[in-house]
Amino acid sequence: MGEAPKEKVIEGQLLWTPREEFKNNSNVTQYMEWLRINRGKDFADYDALWQWSVTDIEDFWASIWDYFKIESSTPYKQVLDRRIMPNAKWFEGSLVNYTEHLLRHERTAKADEQVFHHLTETTPLAHMTWHELARQVRILATQMRTLGVKPGDRVVSYMPNVPETAIAMMATTAIGAVWSSAAPEFGVKTVIERFSQIEPKLMFAADGYRFGGKVFRREAEVRRIASELPTLERIVWLPFIEAGNMVPDIPHTISWSQLMSHADVSRESFKFERVPYDHPLWVVFSSGTTGLPKAIVHSHVGVLLEHQKLMHFQLDLKPNSVFFFYTTTGWMMWNLVMASLITGSSAVLYDGSPAFPSDLLWKVAAETGATSFGASPTFVQMMEKEGLVPSQKYDLSKMETMMVAGAPSTPETFNWCYRSVKKDLWVTSQSGGTEICSGFVGATPTKSVHAGEIQTRMLGMDVHSWSDDGKELVDEVGELVVTKPFPSMPVYFWKDTDGKRYHDAYFDTFKDADGNPIWRHGDFIKINKRGGCYIYGRSDSTLNRYGVRIGTAEIYRAVEQVEGVADSLIVCVELPGGHFFMPLFLRLKPDVVFDDVLQKKISAKLREDCSPRHVPDRMYAIEQIPYTLTGKKMEVPIRKLLMGWPLEKSASRDAMMNPTSIDYFVTFAQESIDYQWRPSDASANA
């Protein structure tokens, strides 16, 4: 039959309005009714609820605590100690455990009620029940305690998106140890730069992974990583590529099966480690534009409260929901897939290429009965390019929601979902970050969907668009700022003892009327009169590619080790249609030839040290890299030039160390039209 004829759609065009039954049955509507009965708060609509949530923030978050019956060994002293960022203390005095709440549904689940639907490129769809998941978590957690893993010890993972990784995360955090994960496609240097900062005691590692029909073995990489982590006492080895594979002769390595062969531990006898308000839950790594990637620490209580709100009210997940978002274990979205369990819903875990074959994810969505399906805008663009119409081939009748996250979405992206997936579909776009392990702006099931528009600001997130001089903007693009504290803010950065790196990352630009720091996220945002939001990419030098943020420092550390490279500069430009273009500019040493051989060396170095996502779309040899008078590479001004900004609004020659170096980029932006409409090659990393 083929794809239906395309209709031109414009930004902000009304595409969908929720049915009354859909709105009335939503979690947020039920919560509003609870507030009316139990708190005497009567809100006319979501917008009124949001306004209260960011005005009376202590009352709002206290209601979240009560509504979801948070289990704490001791009562909290106060919701919030002060409304000042950073270092605000949330629910001080409480003792909670995040994983205990993830697994609460085990108590009421039926024997055959499934929590995970999982498959890989070579293994068929299988299922795991709530009871089986909780049983394995208790066994592994108990054995980790036997191995000497204590609260506060760091446990790291170099594993694919399989149930064992989820079990390892939950077992780690169940006993108060601190979790951190890297995807197995990450190169050795990238992993070491992350894990060496937090000095792990134990590592979970797999023998490899599969992608696009190819096998990528990782024994040599694990061996090199372990050799650079002197604090590592144990490695738990998972034979993922070949079941029954022998444990390698890496010192202190034991097999997954050896740990899991111990006797069951009853729910009644197992004790979750309930921890204080500031105890680390996990360390996630965001891009390092200068220096090493930022080791961001989140707390149990902060993430617990935020994920209760996010999963129930913004994503509307319920015990009968099936949540499927394509992700790897190195992306914050993996943590959110795990968070879906907090609602009692089940989750789909798939490890492999999203396009092997091209319609695979839709097949999985149909077979698992996914009610909520998510992927990046790049994935949707790939589907449209291939002319795929999932609704004509697969039964997607159970799908209620399609979430497009990881990068700015376009009106065309939304329109394709309605045209090719389902007419009665709640299409949502979200934007947040690893820094908060959640979203700032996103969805609500009670509002209409407009083309390319993020429906609303999330509850408890006092998000605004500000001009460079700190003025509120409406219907204009400005900096995304958050003017009041929220629970899932980072507790701190690891080893950032004086808090300077944390402060410089988010709080060095804006202040409120009292001189207190304001969170500046680094995204361009527009908020219209009805509260709809548009994200226009990064306002700083961080690279946002396929929804994964990459620090420019990671690129430079690898590229400038290649013989013949003297200096480099990289930017990532968001293009019309939701595409990306990431060029790398190189200053070469004298007499070095810029040819295919050199470019292949650079690409190979980036793949080996970092990941395939770090490889640029194109490389250009230039005479000078532009620097400021203070010696900083001018990444943001160059990016603005390539996005079409005039020179006078992009850079000041007076503030440059080498003013003539900007001329190349002015000409490049004017004459090199080919890059402006060229999509990045997303075939490997959509």
Q: Is residue 680 predicted with pLDDT exceeding 50? A: no
Reported as a single tens digit per residue, the pLDDT across 399-431 is 999 998 876 777 888 999 999 999 999 999 999
Give the pLDDT confidence score for residue 524 in this predicted structure: 83
CA distance 577 to 677: 9
DSSP-based three-state secondary structure for 56: coil
Give the pLDDT confidence score for residue 561 in this predicted structure: 86
Structure-token match 């992350």, residue found: 194
Q: Which of 76-85, 207-216, 566-575 has the lowest mean pLDDT?
A: 566-575
Of the chain, the percentage scoring pLDDT greater than 90 comes to 73
Burial of 363 (0-12, 13-18, 19+ CB in 10 A): middle
Nearest to 442 by CA among 384, 403, 492: 403
136 vs 553, more confident = 136
Reported as a single tens digit per residue, the pLDDT across 76-89 is 999 999 999 999 99
Whether 287 contacts 554, CB under 8 Å: yes
Tell me whether the omega of the peptide bond preceding residue 86 falls within 30 degrees of 0, making it cis: yes
Give the pLDDT confidence score for residue 215 in this predicted structure: 95
Q: What is the mean pLDDT of residues 183-212?
A: 94
CA distance 631 to 628: 5
- Mean per-residue pLDDT over the chain, rounded: 91
In sequence order, the 6+-apart residues with CB closer than 8 A to the CB of 579 are 381, 677, 678, 679, 680
Segment holding 639, helix H or strand E: helix 635-642
Reported as a single tens digit per residue, the pLDDT across 294-337 is 899 999 999 999 999 999 999 999 999 999 999 999 889 999 99
Instruction: Show the domains of the chain with their CATH numbers.
Output: 14-21+54-99+300-514 (3.40.50.12780), 124-282 (3.40.50.12780), 550-677 (3.30.300.30)
CA distance 617 to 583: 6
Quickly state the pLDDT bin for 547 (edges 50, 70, 90). low
CA distance 620 to 583: 7
Reported as a single tens digit per residue, the pLDDT across 481-526 is 999 999 999 999 999 999 999 999 999 999 999 999 999 998 888 9
489 vs 567, more confident = 489
Q: What is the pTM of this model?
A: 0.84
Of the chain, the percentage scoring pLDDT greater than 70 comes to 92
Reported as a single tens digit per residue, the pLDDT across 616-659 is 999 999 999 998 755 678 888 898 888 888 888 788 786 677 88
Give the pLDDT confidence score for residue 654 in this predicted structure: 67
229 vs 685, more confident = 229
Most trustworthy range by pLDDT among 176-180, 379-383, 385-389:
176-180
Q: Is residue 363 predicted with pLDDT exceeding 70? A: yes
